[in-house]
Structure 1
């Protein structure tokens, strides 16, 4: 996917989210100002509307799986030729950097497939484990995926051309951070430089301790 098209799709999704929520720096009701990040810190932390997906082991997966720990989400698909492998490589580098600092804590990493037609739970599991054995995957029906994607300002659309099993999907390339209460707290937009994202992620987690 061309870089300009990727950025346009990502910004379109975030703009749609902003239409329904206050997003940005300095808008929080807390006296503690939100940290500056490559992306957005939520001024209000909306709870995730219920959804039902299937995880990489074939088990039901809903928003309760994001409670009690931090979660970092990426929406992509296993047949993605360029954007997804790059993003997951960067996510693995971020994980490595956090572990080197003993700062990973209880952070979980998820890839949610936007291609349920081709991405079975087993295929998704094999794919994400290539980047890190601790990465997890989930997928589900188009209706349930759209419900979840809408909440996080994620856009995905089948690109023109391609056969029934050889199509590509243009999609947002954001990392979505869910706090231990299962609420959306931050969205990190590309480019995803692990060295830049690491201190920003830690800053958002520290900010959460002040506003919870």
Structure 2
């Protein structure tokens, strides 16, 4: 009988544990917070806050002004020697691969710095120039207030942690904002061809 009770208790624990795991991982689909975030964005796209950014030319643009277009967004800081270099290279490739919708205004590339104290318009312009980025279709910008920066990081799910040597550790992705101003998709960095193909399907 003690053995039977032990087996029964073990079975109940397994069932209970499996149920908890199923709920916690969204039916076993989300084993990481990043996966969970991507699933949540697909199900309920959050609106992008209508904050004002200062661009590489010193001009100011409110994100609400970009509604009516598709926007590909990445988050960078100009001193970064890892992910941000890769993302800059990918956006430069996307300028070539999506030249037509960028030229006629159906699509915008937007790199947002999360280091606005250092990344002045001159630094932002130099970052884009490093990749031979052209004027049409690619904005490199910084938030104009700390509150706006925090809103953006929260909405886009970007984690930024000082690394102790005057830089940052951060996650990286290409994020897709639809013409209604909603974050609808989060894409892996590292495959600009796949991003270009996806946007060609979405653009009218």
TM-score (norm 1): 0.69
- Report the equivalent of 2:40: 22
- Report the equivalent of 1:145: 149
Q: Write the distance in 2 (CA, Å) between the matches of 1:14 and 1:63.
A: 26
> Does 2:175 align with 1:172?
no
Tell me if structure 1 keeps the 8 A contact 2:53–2:63: no
> Does 2:116 align with 1:116?
yes
Deviations 1:119-141 (A, max 9, x none): 11221122113321132111123
Secondary structure of 1:109's partner?
strand
- Report the equivalent of 2:46: 46
- Report the equivalent of 1:58: 58
The structure with the larger Rg is 2
Q: Write the distance in 2 (CA, Å) between the matches of 1:13 and 1:76.
A: 18
For structure 2, list consecutive stretches of 5 or more residues without a partner in the other structure.
1-31
Q: Which moved more, 1:60-69 or 1:114-123?
A: 60-69
Secondary structure of 1:53's partner?
strand
Residues 68 and 189 (structure 1), Cα distance of their counterparts in 2 relative to 1, 3 Å cut: same
Residues 50 and 82 (structure 1), Cα distance of their counterparts in 2 relative to 1, 3 Å cut: same
Residues 52 and 98 (structure 1), Cα distance of their counterparts in 2 relative to 1, 3 Å cut: closer
C-alpha displacement of 1:103: 5.6
Instruction: Give the length in aligned residue pairs.
Output: 167
- Report the equivalent of 1:107: 107
C-alpha displacement of 1:118: 0.9
For structure 1, list consecutive stretches of 5 or more residues without a partner in the other structure.
1-10, 24-41
> Does 2:159 align with 1:155?
yes
Tell me if structure 1 keeps the 8 A contact 2:70–2:108: yes
Q: Write the distance in 2 (CA, Å) between the matches of 1:55 and 1:120.
A: 9
Decide which of 170, 186, 197 is 1:199's aligned counterpart: 197
C-alpha displacement of 1:67: 0.9
Deviations 1:147-184 (A, max 9, x none): 11110111111112x2xxxx111112111111112111
Tell me if structure 2 keeps the 8 A contact 1:13–1:154: no
Q: Which has the higher helix share?
A: 2
- Report the equivalent of 1:89: 89
